[in-house]
Structure 1
Amino acid sequence: MTKLNYGCQGLTALISGGTSGIGLAVAAKLLADGARVYIAGRSQRRGEQAVAALRQQTGAEAVYIGCDVRSAADCRRALAEIGVCEGRADWTLDILVNSAGVYREQRLEQMSEADYAEIMDCNVKGTLLLTQAALPRMYGGGSIVNIASDAGVSGNYGCPVYCASKGAIVALTRALALDLAPSVRVNCVCPADVDTPLLARQLVDADESYTLADMAAAYPLGRIGRAEEIAHTVCSVASPANSFMTGSVVTVDGGLTAG
């Protein structure tokens, strides 16, 4: 892994959805940069696997925190657990990356209330609740990066609720950037299709109605993204070097929304 200097040495970072995909790639880059990294997720098994993979990749030790971001009590407990690990009463959370999310292709005619809740509770409510729990530890000058999607900026076929959830994250980012200035910066990164386990599940669910090659053909760059490419943008946005950047919505989409 190419090591870049984001200026995050000694900072404390929490990444939801940090056990796989983009979140895991962000964790690797921040660890390599010298940050103390906590990865939050719902699966103890995946958490342990992620910590081991990060250790092998970076030689540094992340800490897994069990957390269901859809639960306010769980989010508060996760922050308390980080406090125990930090070992001092005046600890601060310098970086929060809200990367936990779910995706489902489903036309509105097929949607049930349970389907709606599954997507909105994780993608929107989860971002709100974890941010709410983290804020008391961030007012000294933290940086929040929310992960949205190109679908939250321009829409997409066959996934209206997912598009709505990511559009909400874009709007939430802009609103919080105003509410939390000048002490906390809030920005948003909007990836298009990225080679992650989430995409692999999407292709299985598509049941050969389209392929990875079909998806890649839609991009001016001729391919989909890699998790480490999105992670680089996230870390750059979170970096203290970007101290004048807040309320920004950054697309990383291989040119998909340029037309």
Structure 2
Amino acid sequence: RSAERGAGAVQSLKERTGKCAVYVPCDVRKQEDCRQAILAVGKHEGTPAFTVDILVNSAGVYTEQRLENVTEADYAAIMDVNVKGTMFLTQAALPRMYGGGSIVNVASDAGISGNYGCPVYCASKGAIVALTRALALDLASAIRVNCVCPADVDTPLLTKQLVDAGEGYGLEDMEASYPLGRIGRPAEIAHVICSMVSPANSFMTGAVVAADGGLTAG
């Protein structure tokens, strides 16, 4: 939703790839915003008959809070972005994908094994895992739907998490919990996503793939 960050992402993509990119502001919690975002893609393509080949649902928020302290507003803040956002943007894109396409939902290790102190977040990501499997069945054979479950990755979301944690824990504590001894890098998760949408993996749908440094292996 940040125009500044969106413009920065477009510039970075152009510099790295030489390809054209466009930023469209969208609040995925709102169905109409999602519809308008997809329509904006068509305007950029210059044709009303455009198709969407790949959709990556990666918008997400994270908050640590014990269940006994959760309010209705706290619940909505997480579930609306993580679950409704994934559903609504997928819904808006579907009419443009029935000729064939690939969807990747970004869940979390917390959606596979749970985690301490963030029950609503875990519930939201568990919902994405279940949604992925359900949509893989509903949308076959035209559209493939898969899910990647990253653990902690070096992104602005993690930076915010560490700030919110205060003196509760730090990056070194976090890294010590991983068999690989470190957190993930954004490019590593992007590589998994690219693999999932590749035609070389055209037999993969309904898959839930952990990219978590071995965190959920035990």
Q: TM-score, normalised to structure 1's length?
A: 0.83
Q: CA deviation at 1:232?
A: 0.1
Match of 1:30 in 2: none
Match of 1:130 in 2: 89
Q: Give distance in 1, aligned partners of 2:45 and 2:10.
A: 17
Task: Give the residue type in structure 1 aligned to 2:184.
Answer: G
Q: Give distance in 1, aligned partners of 2:138 and 2:17.
A: 36
Runs of 4 or more above 3 Å deviation: none
RMSD: 0.8
The one-character-per-residue Cα deviations of 1:186-212 (angstroms, maximum 9, x if unpaired) are 000000010111000000000021110
Which protein has the bigger helix share?
2
Q: Give distance in 1, aligned partners of 2:136 and 2:101.
A: 12
Q: Does 1:114 align with 2:39?
A: no
The answer for unaligned runs of 5 or more in structure 1 is 1-41
Match of 1:180 in 2: 139
Q: Does 1:228 align with 2:187?
A: yes
Q: TM-score, normalised to structure 2's length?
A: 0.98
Identical aligned residues as a percent: 73
The one-character-per-residue Cα deviations of 1:137-171 (angstroms, maximum 9, x if unpaired) are 00001100000000000000000000000000000
Q: CA deviation at 1:113?
A: 0.6
Choose from 26, 50, 69 the match for 2:9.
50
Q: Does 1:205 align with 2:154?
A: no
Q: CA deviation at 1:131?
A: 0.3
SS in 2 for 1:194: coil
The one-character-per-residue Cα deviations of 1:97-122 (angstroms, maximum 9, x if unpaired) are 00000000111111111010000000
Task: Give the residue type in structure 1 aligned to 2:142.
Answer: S
Match of 2:211 in 1: 252
The answer for unaligned runs of 5 or more in structure 2 is none
Q: Give distance in 1, aligned partners of 2:20 and 2:39.
A: 19
Q: Give distance in 2, aligned partners of 1:90 and 1:204.
A: 46
Counterparts of 1:12-27 in structure 2, within 5 Å, are none
Choose from 63, 87, 108 the match for 1:104.
63
Choose from 20, 23, 39 the match for 1:80.
39
SS in 1 for 2:56: strand
